[in-house]
Chain A
């Protein structure tokens, strides 16, 4: 008994010695954050239920309140940039994808903050300016297995061109929806330039149903109106969880977008912002997110989607304003004939 207690005390002391500085830093930061008003303001395009789960855990651990303004990535950038330019930024941290963040970064919106939690991310997933790429949002083929049996489902992107799928395919309009423009423009990373050029033309020739964005595409799969969609793979999990008969095609490689959580350099609550980022990139929050269907960049942490660990992520091409405009014009000629 006594020996056990002794062992425990030694263990406790060791733990304190090892993690002491981190704890001390945490406590100091939290104290400073509370002096700023005890709240952090987040703008982002991360799904609100996910943020809600993280927010609760964060508040429980630190006692700091997190307020979240959720909109699409473009709108997040619009509001944040406008506030910033007017000298009245109300946000501390932005949670959104690579492209808009790079544009904001060029305008000097972000402060450089090296979070202690960053050390647990793979080196190639750390952007020098934006910090760790905490999640990958992956686009693939999702289908309704109630309408299309798994054996009859497409096995590759090229399979989508088979005549049997004509009229059964839905995708966001690549001339309207930015991420889809980017996806089509990045296909060469999967199949090479020549093959991808032909694939894009043939895909357009299939006359897929075009919708506004990735979500309506997935929703048409759940309702069975159009059984196959090019959309986020995670929807197979999210809608599957609610009972929809969804599955995704196990493509060898899939394109996707990286998401980051940078700190504003004019944050009204800089310490609360840092506290949030430390927690957000930490183990507890990454596990919460993975459980909710996100592909987080942590070794061995996967969403509860079958074969999620086998997916090879390929980051999509970064396009600038001119690049987007040109591609949209090009695809209008191909897709809207």
Chain B
């Protein structure tokens, strides 16, 4: 550094010149510019909001009072601890379930694994609030379907399950978070070289020993990625706590934020932003920990130049048991909540079914979808957002991930931090930041479909990034080096070597994003205009109006469409590979 000061100015300029001649550096600048803008522009308004005493857009005074109010209350810390327990429990459960399911469907020869793999994604398509409601209808102590059936069957006084408890809250959130963890872990399992496992086996390890000593440690980046994402997602979620924690009288951090800031009247944006900064600090801490735990990148590189094909472990007669375990998990994650939603969609109003119920079943809610042009338009808008939005987002994610994992460019860690900033704010708080950032933007994007796409990319880039990073970590550098040695430039190497090798991660990220974009609303709500309405807001107001039957019916149709899309996309990606 000291030497740098003595060098003539021309030298620095020529260094900058050299920096700019490298295509990767130009790409770094481009990507960094886009991400910095997407992330910092709305965040600036939120941080500014946390430091002023007036609503955004109204001249105010600088103040630290919001921080004092939010963080001098001992209750805040008590609730952060509860939120930590909740977040760790839910993300832990999701990772364990996802790992089990992914291992069975990807690495073993258990029958029906393709079908299981496809089904495991379904809950990501449904708005989380619907899944939480389904579980309340199944497990509430008064007349939950499972409790009521058990009471009837065994003549008990009351049902054994109570959803309104911390374990109940963790259970439901864990199930909601599982598909995301599944997609990330499955992608990493798919691109893992089995040579190490085979060596261990040759040396006398049992299947279980291989899983514990080889597979699990190699999966560490993916497990940590999934765990980190899901932890923060649980800590900042309000949907499930609102449905389950409120009646259970369990307070978490987000219910406090809701009471004091977002749900206060009028909304206290300044305080909401201040609380958001707290969640941001937690999220960034986790990103830092993640980077530390995966810093010795080479040790995870298992995809090398040697030809390999992820082989399947022959479980012998145990393969049916493995299928059974997967089936049981999917019954919990998908079948039970979806049967409830189907019932909600088919009943004129939801009630515990009796024999009389079967005479009241109606297709009215599905007819509403069929007959209403507004619903059709919303489907078209959301499909566009899902297909184009997820693709744009994954392109950015792949480039960012390459830069942060592969290059030695100085500010690459910062780039990763940037991506996570907007994601750490509670959805409604970020929505306000986005509203303020873009309402008066020189390019008139406000209240068009493009602003929604900007919002989606801003908020959900971390999912894409995590999915693709945990597979890029596995790709050994020798492949790129070989390509470069053969005279290929950066773009050719990126297109011919990296993109194909990253495909499982890119695909997983794309599916996560496309399924979220099909029904997202909290970031969109303030930005769309009624003439460009996507499905998320439509579902939101139907829900507000108490039309659960329609919400469930639309949710089911979205699920079917998304599954078809995913199946086609997966087939397409496999076809390209061969």
- B352, A223: Cβ atoms closer than 8 Å: yes
Q: Is B490 an interface residue (CB 8 A)?
A: no
Quote the shortest CB–CB distance from A46 to chain B (angstroms): 10
**Which segment, of A15-23, A66-74, A155-163, A275-283, faces chain B?**
A66-74
* Chain A residues within 8 Å of B547, by CB: 49
Task: Mark each residue of chain A from 50 to 87: 1 if its CB lies under 8 Å from any CB of chain B, else 0.
Answer: 00000000000000000111111011011101110111
Report which A residues bind B (CB closer than 8 A): 41, 47-49, 67-72, 74-75, 77-79, 81-83, 85-88, 90, 99-100, 103, 173, 175-178, 181, 209-212, 215-216, 218-219, 222-226, 235, 238-239, 242-244, 319, 321, 324-325, 328, 332, 336
Residues of B within 8 A of A (CB): 55-58, 136-137, 140, 142-143, 242-243, 246-247, 249, 251, 255, 258-259, 263-267, 269, 348-352, 360, 432, 435-436, 439-440, 446-447, 525-526, 529-531, 540-542, 544-548
Q: Shortest distance in angstroms between B545's beta carbon and chain A's nearest beta carbon?
A: 5
Give the one of A83, A103, A224, A321 with max B CB within 10 A.
A83
Known: A68-B530, A69-B530, A71-B525. A242 touches B349 (CB 8 A): yes
User: When A69-B529, A82-B56 are in contact, do A103 and B440 touch as well, CB less than 8 Å?
Assistant: no
Cα–Cα, bound, A324→B432 (Å): 22
| Measured CA separation A222–B547 after assembly (Å) | 13
Name the B residues within 8 Å of A176 (CB-CB). 246, 255, 258-259, 263
* A90 and B447 form a contact (CB under 8 A): yes
Which single residue of chain B is at the shortest CB-CB distance from A85?
B57
Q: A219-B546, A224-B352 are in contact. Are A175 and B57 (CB under 8 A)?
A: no
A173-B246, A242-B349 given; A215·B546 CB < 8 A: yes
CA distance A324 to B264 in the complex (A): 8
Additional A-B contact list (9), CB under 8 Å, known A49-B545, A321-B264: A69-B530, A74-B267, A77-B267, A175-B259, A211-B246, A211-B247, A223-B351, A224-B143, A238-B546
CB contact under 8 A between A103 and B242, given known A225-B142, A242-B348: no
B contacts with A: majority SS: loop
CB-CB nearest in chain A for B144: A225
Residues of B within 8 A of A209 (CB): 247
In angstroms, Cα B543 to Cα A70, docked, is 11
Chain B residues, CB < 8 A from A242:
348-349
CA distance A239 to B549 in the complex (A): 12
- Shortest CB distance B138–A (Å): 12
Which of B55, B440, B525 touches A75 (beta carbons < 8 Å)? Answer: B525
Interface hub of B243, B247, B446, B525 (most chain A Cβ within 10 A): B247
**Which of B249, B432, B447, B542 is within 8 Å of A82, CB to CB?**
B432
Check A223 against B137 for contact (C-beta < 8 Å): yes
- In the A-B complex, the 10 residue pairs with the smallest Cβ-Cβ separation, listed nearest first, are A85-B57, A67-B530, A70-B541, A178-B265, A242-B349, A86-B439, A86-B440, A242-B348, A244-B349, A212-B242
Q: Complex Cα distance A79/B137, Å?
A: 34
Kindly state the separation between the CA atoms of A49 and B351 in the bound complex, as whole angstroms: 23
B352 and chain A: residue at smallest CB distance? A224
Q: Are A212 and B265 in contact (CB under 8 A)?
A: no
Q: Which residues of chain A are within 8 angstroms of B436 by Cβ–Cβ distance?
A: 82, 86
A151 to B432 Cα, complex, angstroms: 49
A85 to B525, CA, bound (A): 18
Bound: A140/B96 CA distance, A: 47
Query: B142, A321: Cβ atoms under 8 Å?
Result: no
Of B249, B432, B540, chain A has the most CB atoms within 10 Å of the CB of B249
Contacts of B140 in A (CB 8 A): 225
A225 and B544 contacting across the interface, CB-CB below 8 Å: no
Question: What residues of chain A lie closer than 8 Å to B546, measured between beta carbons?
Answer: 215, 218-219, 235, 238-239
- Nearest residue, chain A, Cβ from B344: A223
With A86-B440, A176-B255 in contact, is A79–B435 under 8 Å at CB?
A: yes
A88 lies within 8 A of B255 (CB): no
| A87 proximity list for chain B (CB < 8 A) | 440
Q: Which of B137, B265, B351 has the most CB of A within 10 A?
A: B265
Task: Report the bound CA distance from A69 to B255 in whole Å.
Answer: 26
Rounded to whole angstroms, the CA-CA distance of A238 and B349 in the bound complex is 10
Residues of A within 8 A of B541 (CB): 48, 70-71
Measured CA separation A99–B435 after assembly (Å): 23
Q: Which residue on chain A has the smallest CB distance to residue B269?
A: A78
In whole angstroms, what is the CA distance A61 to B243 when docked? 43
- The answer to whether A90 and B529 have CB atoms under 8 Å apart is yes
CB proximity of A137 to chain B, nearest CB, Å: 13
Residue of B nearest to A43 (CB): B530
Q: Do B526 and A328 have beta carbons less than 8 Å apart? A: no
From B259, B440, B525, residue with most partner A Cβ within 10 Å: B259
Q: What's the least CB distance linking B260 to chain A, in Å?
A: 8
**Distance A81 CA – B263 CA, assembled complex (angstroms):** 16
Whether B360 contacts A243 by the Cβ 8 Å rule is yes
Q: Bound state CA distance, A218 and B548, in angstroms?
A: 12
Complex CA distance for A70 and B264, rounded to whole angstroms: 19
CB distance from A329 to the nearest CB of B (A): 9
A86 partner residues in chain B, CB cutoff 8 A: 57, 436, 439-440
Residues A222 and B142 in contact, CB atoms below 8 Å apart: no
User: Once bound together, how far apart are the Cα atoms of A175 and B350, in whole Å?
Assistant: 28
**In the complex, what residues of B have CB within 8 A of residue A244's CB?**
349, 351
CB contacts (< 8 Å) of A82 on chain B: these are: 56-57, 432, 435-436, 439, 526
